């Protein structure tokens, strides 16, 4: 098979004509490239994530691990790209001008030599211009080790910054330059206590959603209390040992996800977060909860599974009169204990009403609460 000569002078490459969204995208790839390699080249051209791409050639769906040579894909071969709904980056489809650019196969060859996990995504000028227009920077799953410089140039234009599922370690102080940012997704990276600038984050007064889950944090500093517009805080799957009293300053916080950490207690100030609707503290080291949890009158879901809990705040059922989901799996709390808490009957009616149509909700004829609490008799 004779390859086409690309811009770098590499004669071991072929140019594939990829049909997508009514356009034809000429893409140069090495002759020994795999389907997965081709998908990686198509992502910046189409904004479709690799896992959302389906490639079809000669009537057959191409598997990721298959080499293009074995298909066979030759110079000028036509490949159809079908994008799965919802699995694209936030910038929308690439324009025809941007799509007409051909990517050199040398980028794939370099990536193979240095390994994909250590490569960096080069952000094109046209893309940074779109970011400024839309306010959305979507760079999830791009193998980034650092924030591209082009991102910082967007400044006040950015409203949403998604760099989740990368290899990023540093979140520098200049993140505070995104004054209008309201959604920051940093989950699933390599962020540590030392590598994140809370000085910068505390400047984000418009921030409503902050996701730091699946990183290597051990503390949540008091500076989090300055993010008074925050509605969602996701810090699950870290190694956090405590939460600051300043958490109580987040009076607009509706969702707190802090499962799979090393929390041994909760600050009593959590009772000041009166907008909370959902709290997930599962898989921690909690032995009790502050009585102030009873102040959370809008609370609907409280997830406490896999902790050392033996009791609950006495006003939980009486004051949290919207509570309908309570997960106690893996705790020491018994049904007999729950039935003694004031307001149990009303809570039991709410949770039955919510779950009555769920086939997997196990309620016996005796009406025993079956969301993790054990009968005393069964424990003997």
What is the tens place of the pLDDT at every residue in 170-188? 999 999 999 999 999 999 9
- Residue 96's pLDDT band (boundaries 50, 70, 90)? very low
pLDDT of 370: 55
Q: What's the angle, vertex CA 37, arms to CA 33 and CA 187, rounded to 5?
A: 155
> What pLDDT, in 10s, does the model give residues 13-45?
888 898 888 888 888 888 888 888 888 888 888
- Residue 85's pLDDT band (boundaries 50, 70, 90)? low
Closest of 98, 128, 121, 106 to residue 50, by C-alpha: 121
Please list the residues that pair with 228 across neighbouring strands: none
φ, ψ dihedrals at 306, nearest 5°: 60, 55
Please list the residues that pair with 23 across neighbouring strands: 20
In this structure, what is the dihedral angle of CA atoms 137, 142, 143, 149, given to the nearest 10 degrees? -40
Residue 216 is encoded by which pair of tokens?
């290597």
CA distance 135 to 353: 42
Note the helical H segments in the chain: 35-46, 96-99, 106-114, 125-134, 149-152, 198-201, 316-319, 335-339, 344-355, 376-379
- Residue 280's pLDDT band (boundaries 50, 70, 90)? very high
φ, ψ dihedrals at 225, nearest 5°: -65, -15
With a cut of 70, say whether residue 123 has pLDDT above it. no
pLDDT of 232: 98
> What is the residue-averaged pLDDT of the chain?
83
pLDDT of 67: 87
Beta-sheet strands, E only, within 124-258: 136-138, 160-162, 183-185, 209-211, 232-234, 255-257
pLDDT of 13: 82
pLDDT of 106: 54
Identify whether the C-beta of residue 282 lies closer than 8 Å to the C-beta of residue 260: yes
pLDDT of 139: 94
pLDDT of 155: 83
- Could you tell me the CA-to-CA distances from 133 to 38, 91, 150, 218, 244 in Å, in that order? 29, 10, 14, 37, 37
Do you find a cis peptide bond into 199, omega within 30 degrees of 0? Answer: no
- Residue 253's pLDDT band (boundaries 50, 70, 90)? very high
**What length does the chain have?**
380
Instruction: Report how far Cα 346 is from the mean position of its chain's Cα atoms.
Output: 35
Q: Which residues fall within 8 angstroms of residue 275, CB to CB, at 6 or more apart? A: 231, 251, 252, 253, 254, 298
User: pLDDT: is 379 or 176 the higher one?
Assistant: 176
Beta-sheet strands, E only, within 52-202: 53-57, 60-61, 78-83, 136-138, 160-162, 183-185
CA distance 300 to 326: 9
Residue 324 is encoded by which pair of tokens?
């309908």
Closest of 293, 229, 238 to residue 265, by C-alpha: 293
Q: Which residues fall within 8 angstroms of residue 213, CB to CB, at 6 or more apart? A: 187, 188, 234, 235, 236, 237, 238, 257
Identify whether the C-beta of residue 197 lies closer than 8 Å to the C-beta of residue 171: yes
CA distance 285 to 283: 7
With a cut of 80, say whether residue 3 has pLDDT above it. no
């Amino acid at each position: 098979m004779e390859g086409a000569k690309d811009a770098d002078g590499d004669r071991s490459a072929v140019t594939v004509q990829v049909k997508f969204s009514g356009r034809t995208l000429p893409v140069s790839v090495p002759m020994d490239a795999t389907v997965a390699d081709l998908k990686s080249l198509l992502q910046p051209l189409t904004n479709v994530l690799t896992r959302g791409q389906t490639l079809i050639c000669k009537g057959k769906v191409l598997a990721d691990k298959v080499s293009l040579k074995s298909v066979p894909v030759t110079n000028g071969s036509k490949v159809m790209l079908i994008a799965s709904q919802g699995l694209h980056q936030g910038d929308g489809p690439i324009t025809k001008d941007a799509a007409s650019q051909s990517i050199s196969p040398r980028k794939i060859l370099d990536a193979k030599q240095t390994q994909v996990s250590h490569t960096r995504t080069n952000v094109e000028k046209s893309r940074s211009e779109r970011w400024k227009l839309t306010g959305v920077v979507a760079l999830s799953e791009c193998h980034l080790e650092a924030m591209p410089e082009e991102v910082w140039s967007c400044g006040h234009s950015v409203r949403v910054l998604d760099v989740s599922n990368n290899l990023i370690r540093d979140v520098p102080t200049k993140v505070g330059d995104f004054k209008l940012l309201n959604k920051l997704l940093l989950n699933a990276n390599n962020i540590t206590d030392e590598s994140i600038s809370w000085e910068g984050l505390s400047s984000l007064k418009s921030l409503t959603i902050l996701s730091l889950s699946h990183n290597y944090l051990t503390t949540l500093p008091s500076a989090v209390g300055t993010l008074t517009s925050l509605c969602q805080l996701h810090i699950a799957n870290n190694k956090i040992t405590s939460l600051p009293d300043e958490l109580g300053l987040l009076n607009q916080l509706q969702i707190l996800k802090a499962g799979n950490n090393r929390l041994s207690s909760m600050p009593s100030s959590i009772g000041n977060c009166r907008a909370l609707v959902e709290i997930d503290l599962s898989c921690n080291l909690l032995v009790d909860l502050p009585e102030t949890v009873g102040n959370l009158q809008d609370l609907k879901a409280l997830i406490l599974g896999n902790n050392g809990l033996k009791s609950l705040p006495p006003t939980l059922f009486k004051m949290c009169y919207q509570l309908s989901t309570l997960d106690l799996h893996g705790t020491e709390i018994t049904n007999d204990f729950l039935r003694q808490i004031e307001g149990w009957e009303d809570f039991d009616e709410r949770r039955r009403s919510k779950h009555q149509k769920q086939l997997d909700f196990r309620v016996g004829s005796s009406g025993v609460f079956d969301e993790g609490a054990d009968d005393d008799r069964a424990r003997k």
